[in-house]
Every structure is written in structure tokens, then in C-alpha cells.
Structure 1
Amino acid sequence: MEYTESMNDLADALQQPVDFNFDLPDPEDEAISESEFLTQVDIAWQVCDRFDLQTDIWRGRILRAVRDREKIGGDGRGTGFLHWLKEREISKSQGYNWIQLANSADTLLAEGKLEEKCIKNFSKRAFIETAKAVPEVQHMVTEAAQKGDKITRREVKQLTEEWTAMTSDLLPQPVKEKAADNSLPPRYIAPLVREMEKLPEVHQVVIQKEIAANPDLDTIKSATTEARNLAKYLKASAQVQALTQQDVDIETALLEAQRVGCLNTAADLVNQASQLEQIIGKLYMTWKRVGNLADRLYVDTGASTPQLRGLLECIEPLGSQLMTIQIGSPNERTVRLQIQEEEN
């Protein structure tokens, strides 16, 4: 009975929600400077952001309870939980994002890193970034929050970048030393580390030698771009059938390209090949669909539908094995494509 009454009290309280009554500056008031105007609206935004954070954490806890209840008494496929979400017009991804946020909050609270009352000191994005950070950064951030400091995403991001620049094993000592005296800003080093983490060791070593020999900002930026492209192209190469069908060591091949100075060309070739194969696959499925629809329409039309038959006659060739199209303007070039199906 006591539990029911407390929930009823909570429901009654919701009939009189928190009264937000911000004194927002008049956007047409030219007497207010631009900096003052932005400061005032930013303060109001932060209040909403922090209120939204605490609300979303509780949403996540509620959804987690509904999901876990479904695991015990449901059909094992989560249909009851998904139906609950659908009734409230909540997408599956949004629901699980809230659950993840609640899990992060409860983890920080359970480990004693944070007190419940201090959550209000975080902006929503800052809290999410803190939950994803390494334990050392979490400790520094939550310690500041316990003292009453207002935590924004900018502070969390800055601390994370500084920690990465000072501690990552992927960075050679000359780079770490420059990060320590801030002659190399951590905000440029952290993205390099993130991209290098995606690479095989053989490529990491090459980049490490480059930045150790020239530990300056231009080299760091260039190495970051190189690592990002390399990771992207290595991922693409795994999807290229033309490469998987042959005994090609793509990592060594790209390393050779890096050595002779044509990495971007070789990597772009792999990326374009991956895209071309995907386009061919999509073209085949679309071609089959056009052919099937044309056959169906042919059966359903006749002399009573001359315009529909005319439409069919124009489009039907695109479903044939030999297709001809004009590209460019006006009709600059004729392209013919032939599709031949073979059973493996």
C-alpha cells in the first residue's frame, strides 16, 4: 500500500511540472552585445541540458526494467518490450541509447566515483563522454563534479585528449615530450592515436618513424590524414572480391606503395574497386527487378491501355541482357552494358 501511495504522489506531482521561466534576451535588442546575448542563451541551454540528462537516465532505468521483465516472462524474442516502445512512439535505437545512458550512470554511482546529487553538474553530452572515457579521466572529471564544478563536453574532451597524448604507447617519446610542454596541442595528437589504433602494427611503425623524425604540427596533421585513409582503404580491401580471389597481401602492397610515395593512388584504387563491385551488385538486383516488373505489366496490359503499353515498350529494354543508355549532355556518349548470368 505504501508503495502504491508513493507512486500516486509522484503521479500527482507530475500534474504540476517544474516551472521553467527563463528571462531570454530579446534578439532584436541591439543594446545587448553579441557576447552577452550568447552567454545568456547558453546558460538557459545548460539548465535544460542538465534537466534533460537526469530525465533520460530515469527513462533508461524504466526501459531497462521493462526489458528485463520481458526476459523473465516474455516470449524470449523481446516482442513485448518492442511493443511497449512502439506504443510510446520510441524507436528501438533511442530506447537502447537511454538504457546505455542509465547503465553508465549506475556504473559510476556503484563504483563510488560519483554521487547521485552531482549528476546535475554535468551537461548531457559531457556525462555520456565521461561514461565512455578511460577510468583515469573518469576519476578527474567526477572529482571536479563532486566539488561542484559544472562539467561540459569541452572539459571532458580536453582531459581525454591530454591523457591520450601523454600515455599512448603508439606515440614515440619526442611527441610525448612536446605534448607535455604543450608545444604540440593534444587536440591534434588524440585524433592521430585514434586512427593509428585501427592499423596493423606494420603500418603503425612507419607512421611512428615519421612523427619521431619530425615531431611538428604539420607532420602530425599529415600523419593523421594518412592513417585515416589507410584504415579506410584496408577496410575496403577486405570487401573487394577481386582481391580475395587472388593471393595478394594487401597490407604489404600498401606498405610498398607508401614506400615509393604512391599510397594515396593505390589506396584510392582499392576504395574505388570496392565501390564498383557494390554498384555492380546493386545494378544486377535492380536489373532483375525491372525485368520482373516489365513481365508482370505486359501480362496485365493490352489494347485498352495504349499509353501504359507505350511506357512499357520504352522501359522494357532496360530489363534486357543488353542495355543502351546515353550519358552526358546532349547525348555526348553511348554506353552499352551486357549482363550475363552464370550458375556457380
Structure 2
Amino acid sequence: MAHLPETTAELADVLATPVSFDFDLPDPADPTLDHSEFQRRLDNAWQQCDRIDLRTDIWRGRILRTVRDREKLGGDARGAGFSEWLKRREITKSRAYSLIQLANSADTLLSAGDLPAEAIGNFSKRAFVETAKAAPEVQRLISKAARDRGARITRREVKQLSDEWTAMSSDLLPPQVKQKAGEGTLPARHLAPLVKEMEKLPPAHVREIQREIQEHPNTDTAKHLASEARTLSRYLDAAARVQAIRNCKVDMELALDEALQLGCLNLTSDLVKQAAQLEQATARLFALWKRLGNLSDRLYVDTGASNPHLRALLGCLDVLTNDTIEVPLDDSGDRLVRLRVLPDA
């Protein structure tokens, strides 16, 4: 297991790689400097800054985590002390927890034993966080590249390795398709989204997708099937949330099959999604209507004839607090929508 530096001496050893801030930046007006060399020197300076920034932020995250945990254990249980600590240093809570997440990512990768502390400098910050979120197998591949080859790890490399592992390790793809992915004739970046969407679908629909990708193992088919699988999963997810559908005897799987046969899957999916949104909006509307009515009643009790302007305000809002809600659809007020709230039985 990798050793996590704890003392100031150990920390100094980890961060001991000398880095000069006096970068030899190229002269933008130098006519003898070609574009590739100009970019190389700038990229090198940028990577050095990135390296310092990553290591510094990891330790800032560990410091913030220590302050937060101290408050939880023996200080203000509500976190007031932590908030005050952040306020004095002009750090927002979102920034603080972002740094804590980065520190947690570092500790996760270091504790796995595959990544030595000195290899952290080979990562960009975003790549480091993405690596910590990746599957353990992907973490090992990336850590090996950073450790053995000293390779510069960016978010792009993390995504590429993650896509390759997803495609090659999935049981949902036929062997012929995996073989093409391994050969590079069918890029893994097109197969990974398909696999992730297939994982959300019932077996019957998965088998149909497997049949089609096996018959036509190419990039266009993979992209089309990934889009279709995404629509299918959204349809099933939305259908499960619509009360009007749950209260009726309708076979959503058969309805989905019919939509596929007629070529109107997108239309059907959008219909179900809009129904789910309408139900949610209606529930929110009812809660707001009740809240507005309660506030109006309280204000009416607290006021009297000696407060004519407040009473006038309440009168204006009657169109929203009555059982029939009236809302104009345009500025002229010629077009109205009326919604009636029926009393609960």
C-alpha cells in the first residue's frame, strides 16, 4: 500500500521536485520561432503550473477536511466553526468541498497502492478526479501509465481507457463486436455509450440491439443504436413515474413494441416524458396554491380597514387564491387560462 505523507518532512519530500517559476516563455514576436516549437514551450510551462496547482490543491483539500472533521467530532456540530474558518480565508463552501473531493480522490488512488505519490504530478487536475471516479481496472491502467512511462495523463486519456475497458469487459456486446473494438476498426468511444444505455434496458430490447449490432458492426450502427437505446430508457423511466399510466391497465412493453414497429418511438417517448413533467408541475402548482392561500389568510387576519393598501393587494391576488385560478397568456389579458381546483373528497 502506498504511504500517505503525514509529517512536514514527508510532505517536503513529495513536493521536492524543483520547479522554477521563471519560465522561459517564447517571444510572441519572434519570427524565427516556428509554430510547433512555440506551442511546445507554452504547453510545457502550462503543465508545470498544472502540476504545482494539483499538488497544492490536494493538500488544501486535506487541510479543509481536517478542519471540517474536527468540527464534527468536538466542535460546533452545525459546522459554524468550519464556515467561519472558510469566511476568514474567503473560500466558498462549494470551493472547499471541491478541494475536499480532490483530496479524497488522491487518498483513494494512493491507498490502492498502484500510484506512487510522486506520479501525481503527471496528471491534470480534471484527469485526476476522473481517474478516482473510474472503475478499479481503469484506475490500474492509468496508474501504470503514469508510473511506468511517466506519461502525461489528461482527461482525454482517462476517457479513452475507460471507454475501451467498458467495451471490452461488457457481456452485452457480441464477441465479433469486441474483436473489432480490439482491432480498432470499431472505436470503443462509440461502443461505450451503447453499453451504458443497454444496461438500463429489459432483456428483450437488449437482444434486439445485440442482433442488429452483430449484423452491422460499424460506427454508424453503433451511434444509431446508442441514440435509440437512450430514447428507450428514457421512455421506460418516464413511464414508471406517470401516475396516470400506473393507474391504468396498459402493457408499456407492448406499447413500446408497437411504437418501434410504426417508427414513432421518439414521438411516444416525448409524449410520456411530457406527461410526467405535467404531473410534476401540477403537484408543484397545487403546493404553491395552498401556500399562497395560507399566506393570504394570515395577512388578512393581521390587517384591518385601517390598512387599505394591504387589503387592496389581497384583493388583487384573489384571482390566484380562489378555487378558480386565472392567469393571462399575454400582456393584453384577452387570453386567459383558468384552472379549477376541486375540493379533496
TM over 0.5, yes or no? yes
Contact 2:186 2:219 (8 Å CA) reproduced:
yes
TM-score normalised according to structure 2 size: 0.79
User: Of 212, 215, 221, which aligns to 2:214?
Assistant: 212
In structure 2, what is the Cα distance between the partners aligned to 1:301 and 1:250?
Answer: 57
Cα deviation 1:178-202 (Å, max 9, x = unaligned):
2223222222111222222232333
2:85 alignment counterpart: 87
SS in 2 for 1:238: helix
- Compare relative contact order (CA 8 Å, sep 6+) and give the higher one, 1 or 2: 2
TM-score w.r.t. the length of structure 1 is: 0.79
Shift, 1:256, TM fit:
4.0
User: CA RMSD of the aligned region, Å?
Assistant: 3.4
Gaps of 5+ in 1: 1-5, 11-17
Q: Deviations over 1:146-192 (max 9, x none)?
A: 23222111112112222222332111233223222322222211122
CA distance 1:124–1:313, shift in 2 (3 Å):
same
Q: 2:280 aligns with which of 278, 281, 294?
A: 278
Alpha-carbon distance in 1 for matches of 2:192, 2:71: 42
* Shift in Å, 1:272: 0.5
Q: d(CA) in 2 for partners of 1:257 and 1:107? A: 46
Would the aligned equivalents of 1:326 and 1:335 in 2 still touch at CA under 8 Å?
yes
User: Where do 1:100-179 residues align within 5 Å?
Assistant: 100-146=101-147, 147-179=149-181
Amino acid at match of 2:82: W
The 8 Å contact of residues 324 and 337 in structure 1, kept in 2 or not, is answered as: yes
- Inter-CA distance 303–66: structure 2 relative to 1 (3 Å threshold): closer
Report the alpha carbon displacement of residue 114 of structure 1 after superposing the two structures with TM.
1.2
Matching residue's letter, 2:52? F
Deviations 1:87-141 (A, max 9, x none): 3145555544444433332333233211111111111111122222233332332
Could you say what secondary structure the match of 1:325 adopts? strand
8 Å contact kept, 2:71–2:82: no
Give the secondary-structure state (helix, strand or coil) at the position aligned to 1:88: helix
Over 3 Å counting, the alpha-carbon distance change for 1:326 and 1:70 in structure 2 is closer
Measure, in 2, the Cα distance between the counterparts of 1:305 and 1:26: 73
Shift of 1:207: 1.9
- When residues 247 and 26 of structure 1 are mapped into structure 2, their CA distance, relative to the original with a 3 A threshold, is farther
Deviations 1:4-37 (A, max 9, x none): xx869x9xxxxxxx8745566688x596887776
- Inter-CA distance 102–324: structure 2 relative to 1 (3 Å threshold): closer
Please name the residue that 2:303 is paired with: 300
Does the aligned pair in 1 maintain the 2:71–2:81 contact within 8 Å?
A: no
Cα distance, 1:323–1:34 mapped onto 2, change above 3 Å: farther
In the aligned structure 2, how far is the partner of 1:106 from the partner of 1:314?
A: 59
Structure 2 CA distance for aligned equivalents of residues 97 and 108 of structure 1: 17
CA 1:342–1:150 in 2, change beyond 3 Å: closer, same or farther? Answer: same
Greater Cα shift, 43-52 or 180-189: 43-52
Secondary structure of the 2:266 match is helix
1:188 corresponds to which of 190, 211, 220: 190
Distance 1:231 1:59, change over 3 A: farther
Cα deviation per residue 1:236-289 (whole Å; 9 max; x = unaligned)?
223222223334443453244334432222221111111001111111122223
Residue pair 1:85, 1:95 contacting (<8 A) in 2 also: no
The 1:292/1:171 distance shift into structure 2, 3 A limit, reads same
SS at match of 2:171: coil
Shift of 1:49: 2.4
Q: Is the 8 A contact 2:75 2:81 kept in 1?
A: no
For residues 95 and 251 of structure 1, the distance between their equivalents in structure 2, rounded to whole angstroms, comes to 46
Q: Is the 8 A contact 1:54 1:120 kept in 2?
A: yes
Shift in alpha-carbon separation, 1:182–1:324, aligned structure 2, 3 A: same
- Quote the Cα distance in structure 1 between the aligned partners of 2:84 and 2:269: 44
Match of 1:238 among 217, 237, 240: 240
What is the CA distance between 1:297 and its match in structure 2? 4.3
Query: Unmatched 5+ residue regions in structure 2?
Result: 1-6, 12-18
- CA spacing shift, 1:234–1:95, aligned 2, 3 Å: farther
Percent identical among aligned pairs is 54
- In structure 2, give the amino acid aligned to 1:115: P
Quote the Cα distance in structure 1 between the aligned partners of 2:66 and 2:272: 47
User: Could you tell me how far apart the structure 2 residues matched to 1:282 and 1:241 are?
Assistant: 15
